[in-house]
Every structure is written in C-alpha cells, then in structure tokens.
Amino acid sequence: MRLFAERGFTETTVEDITNAADVGKGTFFNYFPSKEELLTAFGDLRIGKIRAGLEEVERGNEPIAEILRRLFIRLGEDPGRSPELARSMLLTMLSKDAVRLKFCTRFAQGHVIMTKIFKIAQERGEVRRDVDAADLARSYKESYLGSLLAWSLTPSTRLAPSFQRAFEHFWSAAAAKHSRIEKEGSER
C-alpha cells in the first residue's frame, strides 16, 4: 500500500513489492497470480468488514446507526492511509478493466450484504421503510465513496471528520422518522 501511494499502482512493479516485503517473486506469485490480485485481496478485506458489520447487526446489541457509523470508518482505514493511496486505488479501479470488473463484483457482494443490514434496520424500525433497503445501501456506499474521493482531492482536510459529516448527512435522511425527531429534540 505504501508503494502504491508513493509511486502509483501502474508504476509499482512486482519486484518493488517483493523487495519491500523481503520475499521472493516466487513467494509473491504463490499468493497472487498478478499485481492486480493484490487489489482483489483488498476488496476481499472490505467484504470481510461489511460481513462483520452484518454480524454486529444480527446480534442486536447496539443501535444500527452506531454500527453503520463504525463500518463507515472501518472501510476507510486502509485507503485512508494517505490521499495518494486513495487516489491511486480509485484511479486503478477506474482505468484498469480487469481491476474494475473485479471491484464491481466486490461492490455487488457488498451491496447484497448492506441491503440485508438495511432490511434488518427497517424491521427494527430504526431506518425509514418508505425507501427500498437496496436503495439505502446504495446511498450509503455512494456517501462513503464520495467522501473518500473528495478527501483524496483535498488532502488538507482530515478524513475522519469528512467521514463523520458524510455519515451524519446520510443518517439524517435514512433514519426512521422517530429517530430523526428524537435526535433533533436532544440537540435543542
């Protein structure tokens, strides 16, 4: 990730990676058939974080808003290491068809899991029911990606407050009406 941030994905070679990791090329290729597969593994980590969020929701010990807020932050931890890394990853996803297609698959997997989260939240009355759960999941993802992109372009800002603001805006639109009213009343 450091090399991708410093040099960009395209300019970083497998040799650069193996030298930095102090492993042989053969070892690298035992785990990753190509450099692009590193980003696929990164996508798999994201899916793991989303699955963990679903497990937290299914346990039912905390309000959905808190779980979704934490997930928003967790998803940003790795690409949020530096604006350069975020830009490099986003650029690679957008410009390399093989990588983009794999990320689209991961996005679809994540979307299915996030939709389950929002369906549970609707059943519990914590999220509005007049919007389809799949649309809420899409808005959540778009809020996350938009925040990450904006931060990567204006790195003078800090990522955590940007994510916090984006989540609050998302939640103010997604929360069930009684949740929004309770929050507004507590802020007065």
* Neighbouring C-beta atoms of residue 123, cutoff 10 Å: 11
Dihedral sign, Cα of residue 52, residue 56, residue 57, residue 59: positive
* Neighbouring C-beta atoms of residue 114, cutoff 10 Å: 24
Ramachandran angles phi, psi of 175, nearest 5°: -65, 150
In sequence order, the β-bridge partners of residue 20 are none
- The single-letter code of the amino acid at 114 is M
- Position 55 scores a pLDDT of 97
Mind listing the domains of the chain with CATH numbers?
A: 34-187 (1.10.357.10)
- Cα(155)–Cα(84) distance, rounded to whole angstroms? 9
Summarised one tens digit per residue, pLDDT across range 111-129 is 999 999 999 999 999 999 9
Residue 163 · residue 73 · CB < 8 Å: yes
60: alpha, beta or left, given left = phi > 0 and alpha = psi -120 to 50? left
- Position 178 scores a pLDDT of 64
The end-to-end CA distance of the chain, in Å, is 44
What tens-digit pLDDT sequence spans the chain (188 residues)?
A: 778 777 777 788 889 989 988 998 888 888 888 887 887 888 888 899 999 999 999 999 999 999 999 999 999 888 887 888 888 888 888 887 888 888 888 899 999 999 999 999 999 999 999 999 999 999 999 999 999 998 988 867 788 888 999 999 999 999 998 654 444 444 44
